Structure 1
Amino acid sequence: MIPAAAVAEAHSRLHRALEPLTDEQVREPSPLPGWTRGHVLSHVTDAGRALADLVENALLGVLVPLYDPKTHDRDGIIEATAGRSAEEHRRDLLRHSVRLEDAWARVRDWEQHVDYRDGKLSSTVFARWREVWIHAVDLDVGIGFADWPDDFCGHAVDFLQGRLPDGVAVRAGDHRWGAGDTEVTGSVRDLAAWLSGRAAGTGLAGDLPDLGPWPVSGARRPPRPARRAP
């Protein structure tokens, strides 16, 4: 099932949490080293813009990368926009969230090829789902991993199990991810929080290993015929 409606709910939850945010709070440090709340907001907003551009172009039969390094200075945009007012952050985040949801509403084939992750349009939905819920925790605006929906927690563990080193598996009840004799056990929520780096692993049983890097992409399938953007 493609969780587009679940992402819309995540957007709504984040927008509500940001309503009382002040300009001073925007400039305060976030839990991410070196980033203020404004940096996190700029990142989430620009990622929404990039995904909306990708999906809108795909619906026209045009393949574009999520971030084109020739035309898009991702880090520069974050730095340049991090210091905006709280209202400016709220306005732009909402604008690109609505654009993305509207584009998804027009999708008829979630298997359609795009130049992103596993090569399917559906990957944009799952990516945004992760982006919003995980960075909502980083914003420290009253949303924690305890607020993550159960189905999101399961998805997060599925996606992030690639961070486990060889020989280590994780288990929540009857569900097991990874392979190996060493096992870390706990609730799927605690596993998701730990694998995403948003919790130290309190509540988990077993020797917690050092985790590998964040998964980058899955295997791409051959592209369908499409015209590329100039």
Structure 2
Amino acid sequence: MTAITPDTVLAELHKAADVVASLAAKLTQEDVPAPSLLAGWTRGHVLAHITGISNAMARQLEFAARGETVELYDGGYDGRTNAIEAAAGHGIDEHRRDLAAALERALQAFDSLEPGGWQVPISYRGGVVLDGGLALWRELVIHASDLGTGRGPETWSRQFCEHLFDFLSARVPEGQKFVLQPLGLPPVAIGTGGRSTVISGMVTDIAAWLAGREPSLGSLRASAAADGVDLPELLPWPSGVPASK
């Protein structure tokens, strides 16, 4: 897997933000209360969450620029949840305005970074600004698919999928190892246990499964000791907040 540089992250953030804004521009007022692909969430919830995480990550960078750290969400996880619930039912025009402002704020914060700024500590997962950029990239790409507008995981890039393989290796249960075998690509082993399961399929289907999303192309197969088996259970999403969304 190729190393992901700050320049790569910056370019991908701009691409992902453009996709989200483009999808939001096509939604109608009737789409807002319609179900998303996330259980229990409407499209309005997803839009509110994308707005919230964009503002939250911008805030991480704004504090980091002053040599300070701040919790990811104002009010912690409860603050996050309350803000999403409060904004989910907003009209589509308000969602678009809030989303555009949040994306612009986040992109401006990343665009203004000096080279050394990517390694400045932030509170998110006890990491640095680069970790925050990777997190926002994940949030924008995955939740764009969660809107359920026809742009599913099959549109995710190989580089993004391989990043998810690395980040989501924390979902491999103890004692197990997954050998991910994307079709036409080199295998990737995640987990350090002695029990191996081979997961084969399109790179996007493997990444979607690891991310807890429905694979789009139906290519996934699991095998152990050359026999077909059920796909293994995964540990919870490795997040700084206790939620899988």
Class of the TM-score when normalised by the shorter of the 2 chains? 0.7 to 0.9
* 43 and 111 in structure 1: CA distance in 2 versus 1, 3 angstrom threshold: same
CA displacement at 1:20 relative to structure 2 = 1.9
> 2:90 & 2:206 partners in 1: Cα distance?
35
Partner of 1:171: 180
Are 1:212 and 2:235 an aligned pair? Answer: yes
Are 1:186 and 2:186 an aligned pair? Answer: no
Partner of 2:96: 90
Taking every aligned residue pair, what percent have the same amino acid on both sides?
39
Stretches of structure 1 that go unaligned for 5 or more consecutive residues are: 218-230
**Which amino acid in structure 1 is aligned with residue 33 of structure 2?**
R
* 69 and 140 in structure 1: CA distance in 2 versus 1, 3 angstrom threshold: same
Partner of 2:170: 162
> Equivalent of 2:46, from 40, 44, 63?
40
> 1:92 & 1:132 partners in 2: Cα distance?
15
**Which amino acid in structure 2 is aligned with residue 163 of structure 1?**
R
> 2:76 & 2:233 partners in 1: Cα distance?
35
Question: 5 Å matches for 1:1-230?
Answer: 1-2=5-6, 3-69=9-75, 73-108=79-114, 109=116, 110-165=118-173, 166-172=175-181, 173-178=185-190, 179=192, 180-199=195-214, 202-206=218-222, 207=229, 208-216=231-239
Aligned CA-pair RMSD: 1.8
Partner of 1:228: none
> 2:77 & 2:136 partners in 1: Cα distance?
22
CA displacement at 1:170 relative to structure 2 = 2.8
TM score, norm. by length of structure 2: 0.83
Stretches of structure 2 that go unaligned for 5 or more consecutive residues are: 223-228, 241-245
**Which amino acid in structure 1 is aligned with residue 23 of structure 2?**
A
Q: Greater relative contact order: 1 or 2 (C-alpha under 8 angstroms, separation 6 or more)? A: 1
> 1:54 & 1:60 partners in 2: Cα distance?
10
Deviations 1:164-222 (A, max 9, x none): 223231323323122442221223211101111112583122131111100125xxxxx
> 2:77 & 2:48 partners in 1: Cα distance?
18
Of the structure 1 ranges 67-76 and 150-159, higher mean CA displacement relative to structure 2 is found in 67-76
Q: Do the aligned residues in 2 keep the contact of 1:17 with 1:142 (CA within 8 Å)?
A: no
Q: Do the aligned residues in 2 keep the contact of 1:50 with 1:67 (CA within 8 Å)?
A: yes
Q: Secondary structure at the match of 1:177?
A: strand
CA displacement at 1:85 relative to structure 2 = 0.9
Q: Do the aligned residues in 2 keep the contact of 1:18 with 1:141 (CA within 8 Å)?
A: no
> 1:214 & 1:70 partners in 2: Cα distance?
18
